Amino acid sequence: MASRSSKKQRSITGRHIFIACLFVAWMGVIIWRLAYLQIARHEELAEKSARQRQETQTITAVRGTIVDRNNAVLVTSIETDSVMADLYQIKDNIKAEIIKTLAPPLRTTEAALASKLNSGNKAPVLGAKLDWEAADQIRKAIEANKLTGVKVLRDTQRHYPNGSLAAHILGTVNAEEKGVSGLEMRLDKFLRGQDGKLEFEKDAVGRAYSQEERAALAGGRIVTTLDIVLQHKVEQALAQALEETKADSISAIVMDPATGDVLAMANAPTFEPTARWQGTEQEKIVRRNRAIVDVYEPGSVMKMVTYSAVIEEGLASPDDKINCRGPYMNGPHPISDTHSYGDLTVRDALAKSSNVGTIRLALRLGKDRFADYVTRFGFGQKTGVDLPAEEIGLVRKAENYEPTSLPSMSIGYSVGVTAIQAVSAMASIANRGLWVQPHILKKIVSADASQRVLYEFEPKTRRVLREETADVIKSMLAGVVEHGTARNAIQLASYTAAGKTGTAKKVVNGRYSDSAYNASFAGFVPATNPRFAIIVVLDTPKGAHQGGQVAAPIFNQIAQAALGDYGVLPDVDEFRQKMVATEDDLRAKPAKQPDAALTAIKAVAAPVSSTSPTPKASVKPTATPVSAKAKATPTPKATPILKLPVAKSSVRVEAATKPEPAKSSNAPNVIGRSLREVASLCSQAGLKLKAVGSGVAKSQRRVGDTLIVEFR
């Protein structure tokens, strides 16, 4: 009996132990699994849980606006719509319905739409930056067919309200609205802004039940130096000239020599910045900003460096004689002039663009000093204009000069420059020898209501020439327009102008061509008090090809427009004398009858219209007087000039009327006159003159019998 009880007890105990062991093992596995999931894979599973429960959408920041100097909009971003699919909410059995319903309003094929839905991306964009009509059709289709999981989201699109205007400067963006050229690329980090986020949690069926939003910060507002009106007129002039000259391309730049502000920069042909990039070779050429990228041999425009260096170094003066008899043998190659010259003054050698005379002056400099001035004027280095892809040019160092280098470079061959370099160099002469860095960016301001200035551009400057030297070169360049190679093309009513023509053969297949040329004209207006430095460069014009024939007339048209737009008063003697005479009449009239004289002076001072034609007879500038011998010489027969419609001034200057000598008891009005004119009036009035400064008279006061005049 006892043994049976003991056996039964042992049997029960063994079974319990066995079950207990199984239970303990099972619990151990569970504990181990829980520990593994909670400890070893905690971060992974927590992230997966959050990913399934939470969803984040990026709120794209509105790209910044680009405006001109007067706050006219050049580029902006407008609201548009995009369509996105949330595949977490879309079941496979309704994909076919979505494809069939949305393909027509999305203007795509069903196959293309199916490819996006089956790409593996859980939130594919079915259509980006849709127009209003397409977005409206899709909204109606979603509502009518109850397409769960298809969303129409707010988006932005780059908008160029003026079409192709300033396309090379403004640049373009890609599909992600990242800048890929022009200012859009150079200032991309300022324009992009900071994207925002929309985070929300959703339940098992995808319904959102809480959300948190971080607002996007819009990109900065870019204020440029461009003048949208002048830019338009320059582009119109280039488009017309391209058609008439059949040139491969034309570039032009207008800048303020005192500040370095680029007021206009244009290339023809141009392109539409919204056009889809195809990647063709022709498209690459058209989209290139040739004003800062193309390197060309400038020809005689380079002579401004040679003559400036010679005058600055005291190796010649404007009235010295120079032997211009040719040809000059530059190694085995003869260099001659278009006309046979004998001895010319240095001033006339520049005006007539004598190659032989220029080379002989350059030889006085030597290669080291010449190379130094080439660098001073900014050739062989980037100007730093705030646009991408600017070229450095091709300039030899003095130690690498060959025997033929100095003669060739002094007349604009064997040296490669860009249009922006050339106009900056010319602007430094206009600015009395001070080079100012050309720039398009003026400032960047915040997009919020505070309009805080985030960045303001400060151009670099450097002294190139002494002021006295620059003034001499200015007068010599005015001679180019008055009686030199541009005399038949620059016809600005009542304004003086200065500059230099350039014509250079192009290298074709390794040799200088006799049929392909670069033609250019670089200069500034007015010559007495320059407000605008302008350059025009034509690549391979057909037919007439000299700078004075094809480039100077375009310069003339652009200068006339700029002078009129900015209300610059004419500066020729006839206009000044007419102004003084009108002012004297105004003072002489009784107080009760000022209307007639006032109307007359307003008519004379009216700004130039940029739309009326130019008078046939040009008014000679006074910056460089012509000698009596030169006046007696008959004017050579005019060469054919490109017939461009040029704006005529609304200012009508009648025959010069000398003001009556002022009585000794009254001081004459000398404001706006040159030192020579002021001295003459003071002599007629019986007054002593005390002159302060140089330039034109800005203020005057009389002390006893002495007239103190400040010149600037």
Transcribe 39-99 into DSSP letters: IITHHHHHHHHHHHHEEEEEEPPPPPPEE-TT--EEEEEEEEEEEEE-TTT--HHHHHHHH
The pTM assigned to this predicted structure is 0.74
- Burial annotation 409-419 (CB, 10 A radius, 16+ → b, else e): bbbbbbbbbbb
Tokens representing 481? 């327009």
With a cut of 90, say whether residue 688 has pLDDT above it. Answer: no
Where does the pLDDT of residue 84 fall: very low under 50, low under 70, confident under 90, or very high at 90 and above?
confident
C-alpha 294, offset from chain centre? 15
Residue-wise pLDDT tens digits, 440-485: 999 999 988 888 999 999 999 999 999 999 999 999 999 999 999 9
Residue-wise pLDDT tens digits, 153-193: 777 788 999 999 999 999 999 888 899 999 999 999 999 98
C-alpha to C-alpha distance for 519 and 497, rounded to whole angstroms: 19
With a cut of 60, say whether residue 658 has pLDDT above it. Answer: no
pLDDT on residue 214: 78
With a cut of 60, say whether residue 23 has pLDDT above it. Answer: yes
Where does the pLDDT of residue 134 fall: very low under 50, low under 70, confident under 90, or very high at 90 and above?
confident
Residue bearing the bigger pLDDT, 54 or 645: 54
C-alpha to C-alpha distance for 287 and 279, rounded to whole angstroms: 11
With a cut of 90, say whether residue 652 has pLDDT above it. Answer: no
Q: What is the mean pLDDT of residues 402-416?
A: 96
Above pLDDT 70, what percent of the chain?
80
C-alpha to C-alpha distance for 585 and 573, rounded to whole angstroms: 18
Residue-wise pLDDT tens digits, 571-584: 887 766 666 666 66
Q: What is the mean pLDDT of residues 601-610?
A: 40
C-alpha to C-alpha distance for 568 and 234, rounded to whole angstroms: 18
Query: Which amino acid, residue 584?
Result: D
With a cut of 60, say whether residue 599 has pLDDT above it. Answer: no
- Burial annotation 160-192 (CB, 10 A radius, 16+ → b, else e): bebebbbbbbbbbbeeebebebbbbbbbbebbb
With a cut of 60, say whether residue 487 has pLDDT above it. Answer: yes
Report which listed range, 79-88, 240-249, 335-344, 507-516, is most confident. 240-249
Asked if omega into 526 is within 30° of 0 (cis), the reply is yes
With a cut of 80, say whether residue 686 has pLDDT above it. Answer: no
Degrees (nearest 5) of the Cα angle 332, 334, 338? 165
Where does the pLDDT of residue 216 fall: very low under 50, low under 70, confident under 90, or very high at 90 and above?
confident
CA 459, 463, 466, 472 dihedral sign is negative
pLDDT on residue 664: 36
C-alpha to C-alpha distance for 548 and 481, rounded to whole angstroms: 10
Above pLDDT 90, what percent of the chain?
50
Tokens representing 58? 């990026």
> Which residue matches tokens 């010679």?
310
Least confident of 256-270, 357-371, 552-566, 597-611: 597-611
pLDDT on residue 598: 41
Transcribe 301-356 into DSSP letters: GGHHHHHHHHHHTTS--TTSEEE--S-EEETTEEE--SS---EEEHHHHHHTT-HH
Give CA separation, 659 vs 129, 587, 632, 663, in Å.
68, 13, 28, 12
Residue bearing the bigger pLDDT, 262 or 707: 262
Q: What is the mean pLDDT of residues 600-617?
A: 38
What is the DSSP pairing of strand 333-335 with strand 328-330? Answer: antiparallel
C-alpha 255, offset from chain centre? 9
pLDDT on residue 617: 32
Where does the pLDDT of residue 633 fall: very low under 50, low under 70, confident under 90, or very high at 90 and above?
very low
